[in-house]
Structure 1
Amino acid sequence: MRVPRRTSTLLVTVLLAGTVMVPLAPAALAAPATAPSAARALAPSAVPFTAAEAHRSATGAYTLTWSSPAGQVVVTASTDPNATSGVEVGRGAGTGSLTVPAGTLASGARWYFRLTPDAGAPLTVAERSLGLADADNARDAGGYRTTDGHWVRMGVVYRSNKLSRLTAAEQQVLLDQHITRDVDLRNSVERSDEPDRVPAGITYQVADVVSLSHGLKFHKDAAATLAAALAAGLFSGSDDLGQSIGYPFMVNFVGADYAFHDTLTAVAANQGATLYHCTAGKDRTGWTTAVLLTLLGVPRATVEADFLASNTYTGDPDAVELSWLRAAFAEVDYIYGDFDTYLHKGLMLDDATIDALRAKLLV
């Protein structure tokens, strides 16, 4: 269904709201007096890889590719993303590839591949998809290189569509990934109609993007945002004007600020891996991931590629359109002037939380 219930709910909110506005930082969670850049310099990355990926084929074979200035790279496999050793599955040149034939590694497990160069620090990569038939858009949000040469860790943050149909075996997959927190971005009707099915040991948290619990408030004139979004959607030739409108309002609507704040704070503070999701895992979840990756320093082109990957994982080539994501980023610039100010004043993230996210997720 092209227009999910989230979009229709948000549109009703917009139409009812008129031009209710609030200051950039809601008083209950005011931004810090000083807001230094979220992109403060980290220590230079010791990881020499400039590209690295792992893909699992339908037959169970793995294909690994990497690029680095190293002379040789040794590849070991483990089911633990934090393992410093494992089963050696091959080695190659500093820039190379490796195929691990089906049957080499036990099926039914998620395998992480540690690329150890002869000079520099190792890097761990994995197939992004969790392979859940009943949550086909469940995937790792890591494995991307930042503009300053760091990498986003894999096995720490996952994005997904709804978890209401998971089998017992699929629930075990979540436990096997050491997921200890499930953040639900859906509205109350969605949660009631299709409640999450997660096993004991995973804490459930609601971060409703369209909740009115913080009032019916917007940072800028809602009518102006509605008109601009509609015009932009028509100009871009969008196949779903509801989504063209919905994305800017995920930035303008104050209630959404709290949801994204709570989600990112959960990622920073949670002991274990965190999974967040909506219904299709592409819109609310897509924007959450775009914000997180941008905060970490992942280049915009990579952020956009991750967003568009929902078209592949869901099997729907029209699941998302790039114009929608760009409309949300444009709204950030319109309201706040830059992304860093959005993090501090819109999402009310303090420097300690931003630093914790970077420390936890970057290598």
Structure 2
Amino acid sequence: MLFRSGHLAHATEADTAYLDSLGLHTVFDFRNAADIKLEGPDVTLRGVRNVNLPLSDPADGAGFWRMVREGDLKTLRELLAEGRAEKRMIGSYRSIITTRLVEHGRILRDMAEDSSPVLMHCSAGKDRAGLSIAVTLLALGVDQEAIEADYLESAAAHRRYKIWRKGDPGTAPTPCRPRSWRCCCRCSTRAPNT
């Protein structure tokens, strides 16, 4: 069984109790050192193996995120205008898949060695965790439409770090354009150099 979430650094006692009820064996944390420094380490879950497996380099996007934190809206608008935001996301998604084959292989090996149920997370549970779940489901032979539907849950309206559970009417999913996902999915089913 696979679960996806945002980071667990600020999990409350109620959140921890909920996570304990899932019977998790392993938590894969895809955050890099810079993310962990900013957000904090995950809370400890009893009997759960924590594996930090960064799916991004701390230097990737550092300048971009500095502009976000500093509120440099003029430069951000210029960087992201005229389809550049979508191109940036597609490139980032491809990189997470094609340059992190060793990490994705480790996830599959660990799951095969009875490390499930598994929770996979990054900072917000959307990009790195969403893609890793998708790669895992593809490797397991799950129908691509089902994988896409699961991945597009990433577009659900939410606030960062808020736990979102199905059935919570305050966080119903919103429409999302799946183009980035489809480009990524095509990329993941080809050899890395094609």
Per the TM superposition, whether the score is higher than 0.5 is yes
Counterpart residue type for residue 277 of structure 1: H
For residue 137 of structure 2, give the secondary structure of its aligned residue in structure 1: helix
The counterpart of 1:322, out of the listed 161, 178, 190, is 178
Corresponding residue number in structure 2 for 1:206? 52
Q: Give distance in 1, aligned partners of 2:9 and 2:127.
A: 18
Q: Give distance in 1, aligned partners of 2:150 and 2:130.
A: 8
CA deviation profile, 1:225-256 (whole Å, cap 9, x unmatched): xxxxxxxx999x57544212201112332xx1
Corresponding residue number in structure 1 for 2:15? 170
Contact 1:238 1:321 in 2 (8 A): no
5+ residue gaps, structure 2 = 59-79, 159-170
The alignment covers a number of residue pairs equal to: 159
- TM-score (ref. length: structure 2): 0.69
The counterpart of 2:191, out of the listed 324, 335, 340, is 335
CA RMSD of aligned residues (A): 2.9
For residue 191 of structure 2, give the secondary structure of its aligned residue in structure 1: helix
The counterpart of 1:258, out of the listed 92, 95, 102, is 102
Paired-residue identity, %: 24
The counterpart of 1:245, out of the listed 62, 83, 91, is 91
For residue 25 of structure 2, give the secondary structure of its aligned residue in structure 1: strand
Q: Give distance in 2, aligned partners of 1:272 and 1:289.
A: 13
Q: Give distance in 2, aligned partners of 1:238 and 1:304.
A: 23
Larger helix proportion of the pair:
2
Contact 2:98 2:192 in 1 (8 A): no
5+ residue gaps, structure 1 = 1-155, 213-232, 339-363
Closer, same or farther: CA 258–321 of 1 in aligned 2, 3 Å: farther
Higher CA-based Rg:
1
Offset at residue 272 of structure 1 (A): 4.7
Offset at residue 269 of structure 1 (A): 1.8
The counterpart of 1:311, out of the listed 140, 155, 158, is 155
Corresponding residue number in structure 2 for 1:90? none
Q: Give distance in 2, aligned partners of 1:159 and 1:177.
A: 12
Larger strand proportion of the pair:
1
Closer, same or farther: CA 199–285 of 1 in aligned 2, 3 Å: same
- TM-score (ref. length: structure 1): 0.39
Offset at residue 308 of structure 1 (A): 0.7
